[in-house]
Amino acid sequence: EAGVAQSPRYKIIEKRQSVAFWCNPISGHATLYWYQQILGQGPKLLIQFQNNGVVDDSQLPKDRFSAERLKGVDSTLKIQPAKLEDSAVYLCASSLDPDRWQPQHFGDGTRLSIL
């Protein structure tokens, strides 16, 4: 089966600019996650969707980050305006049915560099 697709693979912007990342989960996966991974650290959950509803966004900096999952399939994560500390890899993951303890499957991420 096709894996989790993310684009772009790399993005370089200046601080205070805006940026958007796109994720297409594995077909049929109800749950979608966005993680932020700073160099040398493990991934940190930003937001979790179950179909098109938000399950957990407690660690999403809502003053600058937003995410949506229209129609319960693809998702976009936006940062506006970007700060230097937002430089990181943004990972998208999906799982079939986490209530049945299905594992998460990750994309290869978008590497964001803020100048």
Which 26-85 residues touch other proteins, going by CB under 8 A?
Answer: 31, 33, 35, 40-45, 48, 50, 55-56
Q: What's phi and psi for 44, nearest 5 deg?
A: -115, 125
CB of 106 to other proteins, least distance (A): 3
Q: What's phi and psi for 98, nearest 5 deg?
A: -60, -20
The enclosing H or E element of 111 equals: strand 110-114
**Token code pair at residue 18:** 């805006």
Residue pair 104/94 in contact (Cβ under 8 Å)? The answer is yes
Instruction: Name which of 81 and 105 has its Cβ closer to other proteins.
Output: 105
CB of 5 to other proteins, least distance (A): 11
User: Count of residues binding other proteins (CB under 8 A)?
Assistant: 27
Residues 77, 79, 95, 112: which binds other proteins (CB under 8 A)? 95
**Token code pair at residue 92:** 């998208």
**Token code pair at residue 39:** 């160099």
Give the footprint of other proteins on this chain (CB under 8 A). 4, 31, 33, 35, 40-45, 48, 50, 55-56, 91, 93, 95, 98-99, 101, 103-109
